[in-house]
A and B are shown apart, each in its own frame.
Chain A
Amino acid sequence: MHPLDKPAVQFGLAVLTVAVLPLFLTSGILATEILIFAMVVAACNLLLGYTGLLSFGQGIFFGVGTYAAGICLTRWQVPVPLVLAGSAILGAAIATLVGWLSIRRQGVYFVMLTLAFSQLFYFMAYTFSGITGGDNGLLGVPRPSLGGAELNAPWSYYTYVAVCFLAIFAILVMVTQSTFGRTLIAIRENEGRAAAIGFPTRLFKIEAFAISGAVTAFGGALHAMLIGVAPLSNIEHHTSELILIMTIIGGSSSLFGSVLGAGFYLLLADALSAVWPRWLLLLGLVLVAVALFLQRGLWGLVERLYDAVLRREPSPTKPAEEH
């Protein structure tokens, strides 16, 4: 294991991120958005990096969390902690359903199914506009209060989200280190053998989906409170694509890579979209470049830098395949 992949180091880097963002960013909204997407992307990574499942449907769970928060907070004034917990449970339930159906097919069919399901949920939100507000979304989603104090200022909401982020990140680190997480890695490595030694692999994949869906919906709920709206765009195909892109850019071999991926994308988007509305063109080129030159993502770059600067001897590389 690379020294940077140790759980304590990973969590330390997450704490560092929370502490450093306010020093470099003037916009509390942007900083908060980075943390929200960081946890959502890490949840996507649990599927992609640890289980080997490329899900094009993460926007479903994000949108479900967004709407759950929007509905509970604008119509019923449910306490925020309850909203967050409820979103996570609902996210897990829907992810179980989507996961159960999608893993009936493997490989590229699986990917196509997840994309088609993301369209299904988008059209559901679009069609039942009485519940979701349709194109307009649900307006006026309030931010939480804590002990009587409203967390309306961006940086005070940032603190709230930061605590949530660290808790979620710690949970995800624990999951990946657990006997469950290590079984997921085995399934990713060789599913046939994992089944042959006795693991009901489908059950493990569905559970991975459920955990991923819970975290993603949790993030979706936090996002609705951040921007004050539960918009239709949060459940769109584009959101699923975004989460996946951040995951791959960050690098799927470590959870903190996902934090890097989310941060890189959102900072780039913030800087470029102000200059040029068609900046997605550049993003497309970045994706091609990542596939050609940076296959282990930003995290792979960090590992290489670490090895070059701090370690005398290069990390043991794999010998060439003997064939």
Chain B
Amino acid sequence: MIYLFQILNGIGLGMLYFLLAVGLSVIFGLLQFVNFAHGAFYLLGAYLTFDLTQRGFSFWAAMPMATLIVAGIAAAIEALLLHRIYKLPHTFHILVTVGLALVIQELVIIAWGPLGGSVPAPEGLQGVVIAGDFIYPQYRLFTIGFTAVLAGLLWWLLEGTRLGAIVRGGSESPSNMALLGYNTMRINTAVFGFGAGLAGLAGALAAPIRGVEPFMGVEALSVAFVVVVIGGMGSYTGALVAGLLVGIVQSVMTTVWPEGARLMIYLGMALVIATMPRGLLGRA
């Protein structure tokens, strides 16, 4: 029974990792740019949710607001700064986004202090679900359902719409896109905001589960990297499978070997890389 509990936890956690990884993937797909500030956007999403609920907003208002604010901030950063550095070698992409992550992290500490806090489960979902002798928090069940719906929407958006085609087309040849009459500058801004917004949303959803603290971004970034490395960048299915796998491994290990739970994520990744250098789904 404890394992069922942990597997459900793992699915919830894994879906958040999936959101993070898809955001990273979308940005990389269009801009050929690894966003090292991705964890910072996750951090910001969580803290904005924390702040808004403290101010008396309902979680149901705070979550979308936090997501939109993060997306807006990210879009502004793209429009003002990032578009200037796309042509530089990726060393500088990393340098700039690491710098941005530092700025965001320090601003968070200045605004909300270094200690962190907790976000209560939203009204209506504070109880537990009871089925026989199985008891599970309602909010966690909600995140699983909600992220599953989101995952469906994302699949439709990326595989079935013009936006998805643009994201994929743009990654192939920016100048072709311009020829087709798309305003690539504006698309870049929108996609960066969208990808960062997904990170912000993951942070907002995670806040009632794990609370907020200023260094949660670094951990989120490296887990997103693990997911992307084993699932493949630009692969929707890969991100989903790898995200769930990482989430479940981490949760189940919390029962088996609590101190080593997070270590196992990375050992698992090392094992995958040692045996399957191209990742689980065998893509580059």
A and B touch in the complex (CB under 8 A): yes
Are A120 and B273 interface neighbours, CB within 8 A?
Answer: no
Q: In whole Å, how far is B35's beta carbon from the nearest beta carbon of chain A?
A: 10
Distance, CA A116 to CA B274, complexed state (A): 14
A115 vs B224: C-alpha distance when bound (angstroms):
11
Number of A-B contacts (CB under 8 A): 114
Determine if A116 and B269 form an interchain contact, defined as CB atoms under 8 angstroms apart: yes
Does B92 lie within 8 Å of A295, measured CB to CB?
Answer: yes
Which residues of the other chain, B, contact A108 by a CB distance below 8 angstroms? 28, 34, 90, 233
B11 at the interface (CB under 8 A from A): no
Residues 92-126 (chain A) with a chain B CB within 8 angstroms = 101, 104-105, 107-109, 111-113, 115-120, 123-124, 126
Nearest CB of B to A135, in Å: 12
Would you call A284 and B84 a contact (CB within 8 A)? no
Residues in B whose Cβ lies below 8 Å from that of A126:
259, 263
Q: Please give, as numbers and ranges, the residues of chain A lying within 8 Å of B229 by CB-CB distance.
A: 105, 109, 112-113, 116
Q: CB distance B85 to A291 under 8 Å?
A: yes
Annotate B26-50 by CB proximity to A: 1 below 8 A, 0 otherwise.
0010000010000000000000000
Question: When chains A and B are docked, how far (Å) is the Cα of A225 from the Cα of B195?
Answer: 45
- Measured CB to CB, the nearest residue on chain B to A123 is B263
- Kindly state whether residue A303 has any CB partner on chain B within 8 Å: no
Q: Is B150 an interface residue (CB 8 A)?
A: no
Interface size class of A (residues with CB under 8 A): 35 or more
**Min C-beta distance of B264 to chain A, whole Å:** 9
Tell me the A272-294 residues at the B interface (CB within 8 Å). 278, 280-281, 283-288, 290-292
Binary contact readout B102-126 vs A (1 if CB under 8 angstroms, 0 otherwise): 1101110110000000000000000
Instruction: Tell me which residues across on chain B come within 8 A of A284, comparing CB atoms.
Output: 98-103, 106
Contact B262 A280 (CB under 8 A): no
Would B266 and A288 count as touching, CB distance under 8 A?
no
Knowing A120-B270, A241-B98, A287-B98, say if A127 contacts B85 (CB, 8 Å).
no
Is the pair B94, A54 in contact by a Cβ cutoff of 8 Å? Answer: yes
Query: Which B61-97 residues sit within 8 Å CB-CB of chain A?
Result: 81, 84-85, 88, 90-92, 94-96
Report if A221 contacts B (CB, 8 A): no
Where chain A touches its partner, the secondary structure class is helix
Collect the chain A residues with CB atoms within 8 Å of residue B92's CB.
291, 295
B174 beta carbon closer than 8 Å to chain A: no
> A223 to chain B: which residues have CB within 8 Å?
none
Is B160 interfacial (CB 8 A cutoff)? no
- Known A-B contacts A284-B101, A291-B92; the reply to A119 vs B222 at CB < 8 A is yes
Selected from B34, B88, B103, B270, the residue in CB contact (under 8 A) with A285 is B103
The smallest beta-carbon distance between A288 and chain B, in angstroms, is 5
A18 at interface, CB cutoff 8 A: no
Q: Hey, which chain A residues are within 8 Å of B219, CB to CB?
A: 119
Contacts of B267 in A (CB 8 A): 120
Chain B, interface SS category: helix
Q: Is A224 an interface residue (CB 8 A)?
A: no
Q: What's the nearest-Cβ distance from chain B to residue A113, in Å?
A: 6
- Closest A residue to B225 using CB positions: A112
Q: For residue A209, give the distance in angstroms from its CB to the closest CB of chain B.
A: 15
Given contacts A119-B222, A287-B99, A291-B88, whether A124 and B263 have CB atoms under 8 Å apart is: yes
Most buried by A among B99, B105, B229: B99
Cβ contact within 8 Å between A291 and B99: yes
- Distance from B148 Cβ to chain A, minimum over Cβ atoms (Å): 26
Tell me which residues from 245 to 284 in chain B have a Cβ below 8 Å from any Cβ of chain A: 259-260, 262-263, 266-267, 269-270, 273-274, 277-278
A120 and B95: CB pair below 8 A?
no
B218 at the interface (CB under 8 A from A): yes
Name which of A278, A281, A284, A286 has the most chain B CB atoms within 10 A of its CB: A284
User: Does B228 count as interface, using CB distance less than 8 angstroms?
Assistant: yes
CB nearest to B263 among chain A residues: A123
Q: Does A170 contact B (CB under 8 A)?
A: no
The chain B residue sitting closest to A107, CB to CB, is B90
Pick from B84, B105, B225: contact of A292, CB below 8 A.
B84
Known: A101-B274, A285-B103. A290 touches B95 (CB 8 A): yes
Residue with the highest number of chain A CB atoms closer than 10 Å, among B101, B105, B222, B269? B222
Min CB–CB distance A307 → chain B (angstroms): 23
Is B20 in the interface zone, CB < 8 Å from A? Answer: no
Q: Which residues of A contact B103 (CB under 8 A)?
A: 281, 284-285
How distant is A112 from chain B, measured CB to nearest CB, in Å? Answer: 4
B residues within 8 A CB of A113? Answer: 225, 229, 273
Given contact pairs A116-B269, A127-B263, A280-B102, enumerate 12 new A-B contacts (beta carbons under 8 Å): A101-B273, A113-B229, A120-B270, A123-B263, A126-B263, A278-B110, A281-B103, A287-B98, A291-B85, A291-B88, A291-B99, A292-B84
Q: Give the top 6 A-B pairs by smallest Cβ distance, nearest first.
A: A287-B99, A120-B266, A284-B102, A284-B103, A281-B106, A123-B263
Q: Can you give 28 A-B contacts (C-beta < 8 A)?
A: A48-B91, A54-B91, A101-B270, A105-B229, A111-B94, A112-B225, A113-B273, A120-B263, A120-B266, A120-B269, A120-B270, A123-B260, A123-B262, A126-B259, A127-B259, A278-B109, A278-B110, A281-B106, A281-B107, A284-B99, A284-B101, A285-B103, A287-B95, A288-B99, A291-B85, A291-B88, A291-B92, A291-B99
Taking Cβ atoms with an 8 Å cutoff, the residues of A that contact B are 48, 54, 101, 104-105, 107-109, 111-113, 115-120, 123-124, 126-127, 237, 241, 245, 248, 252, 278, 280-281, 283-288, 290-292, 295
Q: Write the residues of chain B forming the contact surface with A, with a CB cutoff of 8 angstroms.
A: 28, 34, 81, 84-85, 88, 90-92, 94-96, 98-103, 105-107, 109-110, 218-219, 221-222, 225-226, 228-229, 233, 259-260, 262-263, 266-267, 269-270, 273-274, 277-278
